[in-house]
Chains A and B, each alone.
Chain A
Amino acid sequence: MKKYIENFSAYAPEIKEHKDIIFLLALSVILILALIFASMKLTSSYIDRNEKLEKISQMESFIADWQKKSNILASEPMLPIKEEEVDEIQTNIIFNIQASKLALVSLKENEVSQKGGNNAREFEVTFNGDYQQVMQYLSDFYSNKALISITKLTLAHDKNKIKAVMSYKIYTK
């Protein structure tokens, strides 16, 4: 290499007679620059590719997680209902009280619940009847597809009947 550099220095003045060498030298420089830019582009493409593959992997993982959660949710017997379906559920509850031969004494909505924004509507219902009828009604209470919880239940004797005061929540989406 050293010899070549020495020779090149010695013969450099004559290079003008070898235009093809000047062309090749210029081409080499252009190609080297192009290669450097291409390498930078390759590095950028490589990073971009890895980011995309990582994103695809994350998306697939996210979708798998979503599907898993969807499947779990789909297997649940009770699900939150839409706000506008609450009245229909209330109707069913009242209807079932009557269907169970129980006497509805009162039904009111909790004040806090009325303000909304809690993803649930809370009610208190009072009814009375035979012990067996009360227990049967309670057993059937969860047969609704709506997500309902009984938060408090008080059973007490009242003139040979059972008086039930029940607080319950209907969960909304």
Chain B
Amino acid sequence: MISVYLTPDKAQVVDGNLKDGELTVNSVNEFACSALDMFEDIDDVEYYYEDDENQENVLDEFFHDIKSFMDAKHDPINVVLPDYLFAFIDCFKFENQEDLEQQLCEESLRDLDEIYYSVPIITQPAPQEQWGTVYAIDKKIINAFVDAADRQNVKLMSIEAASLSYLRATGKFSKEEFMFQAFSNHATFLAYSSIAGMFKMDVPDLCLNSLSEMEEDEANSIINSYIVQFESTALKTFSYMNQNIPFTDLSDEEVISKFSAFNGRVAENPIFAPYIISYLEDDDHYRVMCSIGSLLQNKIVNSDLYPEDIDSYEQVTSGNLLPLGIQQNTHAFQFFLKLKKILFIFCGILIVGLGAVLGTSFFMANVTIPQSLNDEYNLAKENIEEIKRESDLIILKKKEDCSPIEAMAVILEKRPKELGFASVTIAMENGKKKKNWIKLKAASADPLVFQNYIKDLNSNPALANIGITKIDSNFKAGYKAAEINIGRSENGK
């Protein structure tokens, strides 16, 4: 945020940030500027902005110079003008808006079409008693600023009076205070009371140029007469006003302390409100208060938050004199600027996100089945059926083979000498060799030999279902013939 306090000789530029109710002052700069010269004769102002041939004027130059102090290209500017430029600064009782405007016209002797006005200070010290402080300025001055700013592509946030900006920078509203602003060709007395508000009295005779031309006694005499006049006005405006209120010097140069007419009524240099964070020494605070206060116009200061600094019946708001349309335009511009920044960041995030998603997607899609694996798999697929078929045949072979050598070994192992074999059949039975593995036709003179043989065979755990199915006698040969069945046990191969 930029605030510029324009005086007849220079411009004071303050760069600050208002965040969480605290204003941080980043920098204070000054440069020579005579932009206000164009308002010396208010009737001439018309010429500057209505004549196409003379579009560029000293205000254009001023706004052009201001840009070099702006961090951001489109930072809106708060302009603070010295109080002498104002057509009217006064406080009075009013009932409603209509009443206020009627009194404003009567007291300022100006038509509402000619001026812009604001009512930044409203007090209600007693029920049914409402005071308003009106700051009114010639429309030509504001329009000249608006047009020049527009030409220079600078956005105006506000135009306020120095006295109001100063008051806000002190942070103390519950007080009575006299102020004196003196420039080369202008001088103004200002009085503030928290009960009624602010009023000004222009005293051109006390301008620096005039005072410098006078003898000291003469100067003191004139100053004294104006002080009496000012105090008399103040006393009429502010009931129960304290006596001998000290003067705060709001001039570029220290004027008050040079003249004995002020009778030592020099106020101590004010310091910033506690919510202004600055690198400036306390003694230098008063030099920039007229610029800084404008940056605080949107800060809420009420008696709930700051009970010692402001009375409950007083309300101090912005004294912005810019036309509503310009204010809205600036707010819209700021909003769109912020929106643009957000959208820019949002687009950046989206682009990064899109990149990340596409990158990951590419990485994911990059997985391929290696050709060697594919080839090996195809080969395996071709061979596996053959392997399975061959394996099945090997298993089948094991089932179908009747193992004749093993069978012969089994029957011969326990064969008694008295037993002979007529025939041996070793076979599968429909692929099963469990029940009738071996069929024997055996011969012996003694039938008991058969039984003993079977008994011996039974002792072999690999055999099962051993039995004699038939015994015949061959009387001629004198021996018995038996048919023996031998099976395999579950444990047998």
Enumerate chain A interface residues (CB-CB to B < 8 A).
Answer: 4, 7-8, 10-11, 14-15, 18, 20-21, 24-25, 27-28, 31-32, 34-35, 38-39, 41-42, 45-46, 48-49, 52-53, 55-56, 59-60, 62-63, 66-67, 69-70, 72-73, 76, 78-80, 119-120, 135, 138-139, 147-157, 166-167, 169, 171, 173
Contacts and interface: CB of A to CB of B under 8 A. Distances in A.
Report whether over half of chain B's contact residues are helix, strand or loop; otherwise say mixed.
helix
Contacts of B427: 151-154, 167
A50 B486 CA distance: 60
A14 B331 CA distance: 11
B354 to A, nearest CB: 5
Contacts of B364: 42, 45-46, 48-49
Interface of B: 329, 331-332, 335-336, 339-340, 343-344, 346-347, 350-351, 353-354, 357-358, 360-362, 364-365, 367-369, 373-374, 376-377, 380-381, 383-384, 386-391, 393-394, 396-398, 400-405, 407-408, 421-428
B144 to A, nearest CB: 23
Contacts of B387: 66, 69-70, 73
Given A42-B364, A155-B424, A169-B400, A59 B383 contact: no
Nearest to A171: B393
Nearest to B355: A38
B354 A31 contact: yes
A139 B408 CA distance: 11
Contact of A24 (B340, B367, B388, B425): B340
A104 to B, nearest CB: 18
21 contacts: A11-B336, A18-B340, A21-B339, A21-B343, A28-B347, A45-B361, A49-B367, A56-B369, A59-B374, A73-B387, A73-B390, A78-B397, A80-B389, A119-B393, A138-B408, A148-B397, A149-B398, A149-B401, A151-B402, A152-B402, A152-B428
Contacts of B400: 149, 151, 169
Nearest to A32: B350
Nearest to B357: A38
A136 B320 CA distance: 126
Report, nearest first, the 6 A-B pairs whose CB atoms are least far apart: A45-B364, A149-B401, A156-B423, A66-B380, A31-B350, A152-B427
Contacts of B354: 31, 34-35, 38
Instruction: Kindly name the residue among A53, A59, A67 whose own CB sees the greatest number of chain B CB atoms within 10 A.
Output: A59
A131 B380 CA distance: 48
B365 A49 contact: yes
A41 B408 CA distance: 73
A32 B360 CA distance: 17
Contacts of B331: 7, 11
Contact of A62 (B380, B389, B396, B407): B380
Contact of B390 (A55, A66, A156, A173): A173
Contacts of A76: 394
A147 B373 CA distance: 33
A78 B346 CA distance: 74
A14 B332 contact: yes
A62 B380 CA distance: 8
A28 B389 CA distance: 64
A147 B357 contact: no
A138 B404 contact: yes
A21 B336 contact: yes
Instruction: Kindly name the residue among A53, A153, A173 whose own CB sees the greatest number of chain B CB atoms within 10 A.
Output: A153
B340 A21 contact: yes
A69 to B, nearest CB: 5
B149 to A, nearest CB: 16
Nearest to B341: A24
A151 B390 contact: no
B84 to A, nearest CB: 36
Given A18-B340, A150-B426, A152-B428, 10 more contacts: A7-B331, A35-B354, A38-B354, A56-B373, A59-B373, A67-B380, A69-B387, A79-B390, A152-B427, A157-B422
Contacts of A173: 386, 389-390
